[in-house]
């Protein structure tokens, strides 16, 4: 998909840095979301990136970053854990303000409890981030 429902007269977009509010999240995760969203929009739309005041503007925060057990063995020991990441997003369309919205998105990935989370975290985040970014696009410009 390319372009989605981008307003025909929109030429630019801007993305504010996504702040990290979730206590357990890597402080660099906000930058991953911010830069990932910029890259996605550059690849999937005809819009140009500007530093501020784009025709389309995104801002938000990382509001959730949690690990919970999701499967247990017969002796009630966790065998699988789930990393869940949540984003609160604010979308502004200066050309069609009636399409402005605030949405909360979350995605997760499961991993083996026996694995060291520190070594798994990067690949889990990469997968989660890809899904969250596509959700952002779909729910704002993708016209879903």
Count other Cβ atoms within 10 Å, centred on residue 93: 20
Backbone angles phi, psi at 116, to 5 degrees: -75, 120
27-49 core/surface letters (b: 16 or more CB in 10 A; e: else) = eebbebbbebbbebbeebbebee
pTM: 0.88
Computed over every residue of the chain, the mean pLDDT equals: 90
Instruction: Quickly state the pLDDT bin for 16 (edges 50, 70, 90).
Output: very high
Architecture of domain 12-140: 2-Layer Sandwich (3.30)
For residue 33, pLDDT over 50 is answered with yes
**Residue among 143, 116, 130, 120 nearest 43 (CA):** 130
95 Cβ contact list (under 8 Å, min separation 6): 7, 9, 10, 55
Give the pLDDT of residue 142: 83
pLDDT > 60? residue 84: yes
Q: Is 45 helix (H, G, I), strand (E, B) or coil?
A: coil
Contact (Cβ atoms closer than 8 angstroms) between residue 22 and residue 63: yes
Domains of the chain: which residue ranges?
12-140
């Amino acid at each position: 998909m390319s372009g989605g429902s981008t307003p025909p007269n929109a030429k630019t977009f801007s993305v504010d840095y996504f702040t990290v509010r979730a206590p357990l999240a890597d402080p660099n995760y906000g930058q991953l979301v911010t830069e990932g969203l910029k890259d996605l929009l550059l690849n999937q739309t005809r819009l140009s990136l500007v530093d501020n005041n784009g025709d389309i503007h995104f801002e938000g925060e990382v509001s959730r970053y949690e690990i919970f057990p999701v499967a247990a063995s017969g002796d009630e020991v966790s065998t699988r854990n789930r990393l869940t990441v949540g984003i609160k997003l604010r979308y502004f369309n200066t050309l069609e303000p009636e399409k402005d919205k605030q949405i909360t998105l979350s995605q997760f990935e499961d991993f083996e409890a026996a694995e060291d989370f520190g070594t798994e975290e990067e690949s889990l985040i990469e997968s989660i981030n890809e899904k969250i970014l596509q959700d952002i696009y779909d729910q704002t410009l993708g016209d879903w």
